[in-house]
Amino acid sequence: MENDILDYFILPDDVLEILKSGKEIIIPESREELLNLTMGGGENDTFEVSYDVPGRGKVVEATVARCKNGFAINYPEPYMRRREPNCMVIADDKDTDKVRYKDRFGEDFEPLRVKTFQWLKEQDLIVMPFMAGDESLGYASLVIAPKNAGFFVLALADIQGFIPKDKINKEFKPLSIIFVAPPFRHTHFGGKQVVVHNRLENMQELFSYNLYPGPSAKKGVYSVLLDIGEREGWITAHASTVRVITPYDNIMTIMHEGASGGGKSEMTEQLPRELDGRIHFGTNIVTKEKFYMELKENSELQPVTDDMALCHPIYQDTNKKLVVKDAENGWFIRLDHVTEYGSSPDLEKLCIHPKEPLLFLNIDGVPNSTCLIWEHIEDSPGKPCTNPRVIMPRGFISNTVDEAVEVDIRSFGVRTPPCTKENPSYGILGLLHVLPPSIAWLWRLVAPRGYANPSIIDTEGLSSEGVGSYWPFATGKMVRHANLILDQIQNTPATRYVLIPNQHIGAYKVGFMPQWIAREYLSRRGGAKFRPDQLTKSKCPLLGYSLESLKIDGEFMPKHFLQVYLQPEVGEEAFQRGAKILTDFFKQELKKYLTPDLSQLGKKIIECCLDDGTLDDYINLL
């Protein structure tokens, strides 16, 4: 095996020693082999992923059930069913605004690194090469994981793609390596999710001390791309992208950004209808009145990206629009909105009748039955998990666009709470707001995590995910990313910006309907260019312009969905109190960017907000 490994990879000596330990080393040759490893290499219907933990004995980290349409992965601990937002720590001494391992745990990481390598030497291992981001960019990467964590490796393979054993370049030299070692979660971190990033001179090491793939197999690889981009001067946006072809053959591409739970995956989904064909837009939480719409036909959707959009300079063209390409090979789709049969017919069909078995997380899958995506595991009796997921390889989805595309509109999604006279809140956003570029930049700097976030653990109150909404995954300096985003906005003036809420518009519970309706409306009218008489300045400058009217397929949207203060349950006073909540939050979050490294234009835009600037002030700046 030693010569075999030497033939396949160019590795640092200490990593090579792990693979020369004499234990079984599996370099996967096919997805079928990974499916087999997910069940521990056996024909059994269930499989426990467990480890002997010093001082505790056997600990079951996850269970796997073999279903007809894939594998149901479940975690005994509800805590492990969603991403811990504070899981990242930095072990190296390079520039960072993130918490360093030494500061959080009071010691250097190197002793634990050595212990981790020693533990891996004692395990049968899966060693899988893959490319971070687009294969053409050449960011070679590797994962080294215990053999019994085959489902984790399959998750990584389906999200990022993998290189089969017979296709490996014989001089494969990884720029990043993920080391998976679950027992240390208990021996060193009190049971918490921790992912340690160690940026070496020519490589980044990621130590995943848990088996939920979100912080490492998904966002850990994102961290690698962000680190490379920070050094080279480009961004991987936290965004879904979809090309929309209307019933009238208009074509428009919209890229939807936002914090976790901001509607990125939903932007690529078809607009759901009632059995009679109507669209249930929302329900008034005070009067219980339901509002329905008619829409003759849905547009055709061609998904481009689901969560990570490469904005690399090699893709950019001369049309002054942003150009993006998918950074992933598969999509980590959240299913919390699929609560019953018929909630999302297209997605249900993909999951019930997949081309090959899928990987489901936090779904109540029964061995040898069909895994149904509306049957979510319960965190406690009567309380379904808010973060059920399926990993869907791109190749299983029809109409996906593989090449780079021009972006006509960049939208930003925000989870908003209900807002009423009795309980004013920042849920004052109308169905669609048009933003000047300077305010669009501020929204990306603040990136509110918003109301009732299902993807992470701490969901109380209004909090910020920061620059571009990808800051939780970045390892470097916040202000550098702020400058990169502003440069990108300045260099792509032909791309326009809108703001879309989800969950609530004032007193109405609306789910993700606003972004589905906004997508259909903007594509039918050919983009986000409006005459002055079609817009009005919002009473809160951070909301840019509100629409005076919205007409789609001959039907006007009631104006109180466009300008929330017109709702009798809200009114002017509650709107202004909500505007103050939002503005104060922006001021609080933006102050941290005012450092000597911030560009002069960026400084002026932030100071405009701190000084309660008007919409015209923002427009005059950019």
Report which of 251, 206, 614 is spatially closest to residue 405, judged by C-alpha positions.
251
Q: For residue 455, name the pLDDT band (cuts at 50, 70, 90).
A: low
Q: Which residues contact 225 (CB under 8 A, 6 or more apart)?
A: 132, 133, 139, 236, 308, 310, 327
Mean pLDDT over 391-417 rounds to 94
Q: For residue 460, name the pLDDT band (cuts at 50, 70, 90).
A: low
Percent of the chain with pLDDT over 90: 85
Give the CA diameter of the chain.
75
The residues facing 410 across adjacent strands are 255, 497
- Alpha-carbon gap, residue 96 to 478, rounded angstroms: 8
Residue 114: burial class (beta carbons within 10 Å; 0-12, 13-18, 19+): exposed
Report which of 442, 472, 482, 448 is spatially closest to residue 230, judged by C-alpha positions.
482
Q: What is the pLDDT of residues 259-290, one digit of tens each?
A: 988 999 889 988 888 889 999 999 999 999 99
Looking at residue 450, its pLDDT comes to 74
Report which of 107, 105, 144 is spatially closest to residue 126, judged by C-alpha positions.
144
Sheet holding 88-90, edge to edge: 25-26, 125-132, 139-146, 176-180, 204-208, 195-199, 88-90
Overall pTM surpassing 0.85 (yes/no):
yes
Q: Which residues contact 173 (CB under 8 A, 6 or more apart)?
A: 9, 10, 11, 140
- Alpha-carbon gap, residue 366 to 387, rounded angstroms: 19
Looking at residue 456, its pLDDT comes to 52
Sign of CA dihedral 524, 528, 531, 534: positive
Q: What is the pLDDT of residues 349-383, one digit of tens each?
A: 999 999 999 999 999 999 999 999 999 999 999 99
Q: Which residues contact 91 (CB under 8 A, 6 or more apart)?
A: 100, 101, 109, 113, 196, 197, 198, 205, 207
- Alpha-carbon gap, residue 219 to 332, rounded angstroms: 11
Looking at residue 387, its pLDDT comes to 93
Q: By the 8 A CB rule, do 134 and 100 touch?
A: no
- Alpha-carbon gap, residue 439 to 621, rounded angstroms: 10
Read off the DSSP letter of residue 13: H
Q: For residue 257, name the pLDDT band (cuts at 50, 70, 90).
A: very high
Helices (H), 233-296: 264-267
Average pLDDT, the chain: 94
- Alpha-carbon gap, residue 179 to 206, rounded angstroms: 6
Q: For residue 454, name the pLDDT band (cuts at 50, 70, 90).
A: low
Read off the DSSP letter of residue 385: -
Helices (H), 354-449: 437-446
Pairwise pLDDT comparison (347 vs 500), residue with the higher score: 500
Q: For residue 458, name the pLDDT band (cuts at 50, 70, 90).
A: very low
Q: Are strands 308-311 and 204-208 parallel, antiparallel or unpaired?
A: unpaired
Report which of 364, 306, 319 is spatially closest to residue 338, judged by C-alpha positions.
364
Mean pLDDT over 45-53 rounds to 96
Q: What is the pLDDT of residues 587-619, one digit of tens each?
A: 999 999 999 999 999 999 999 999 999 999 999
- Two tokens, residue 135: 């294969």
Helix H or strand E segment including 19? helix 13-19
- Alpha-carbon gap, residue 163 to 170, rounded angstroms: 12
Q: For residue 459, name the pLDDT band (cuts at 50, 70, 90).
A: very low
Q: For residue 108, name the pLDDT band (cuts at 50, 70, 90).
A: very high
Percent of the chain with pLDDT over 70: 97
Looking at residue 563, its pLDDT comes to 98
How many helices (H) and strands (E) are present in the chain, helices listed first?
16, 31
- Alpha-carbon gap, residue 70 to 373, rounded angstroms: 11
Domains observed in the chain:
2-232 (3.40.449.10), 235-321+408-621 (3.90.228.20)
Q: By the 8 A CB rule, do 295 and 371 touch?
A: no
Mean pLDDT over 233-255 rounds to 95
Q: By the 8 A CB rule, do 138 and 172 touch?
A: no
Q: What is the pLDDT of residues 535-589, one digit of tens each?
A: 999 999 999 999 999 999 899 999 999 999 999 999 999 999 999 999 999 999 9
- Alpha-carbon gap, residue 472 to 451, rounded angstroms: 18
Report which of 63, 24, 34, 68 is spatially closest to residue 46, judged by C-alpha positions.
63
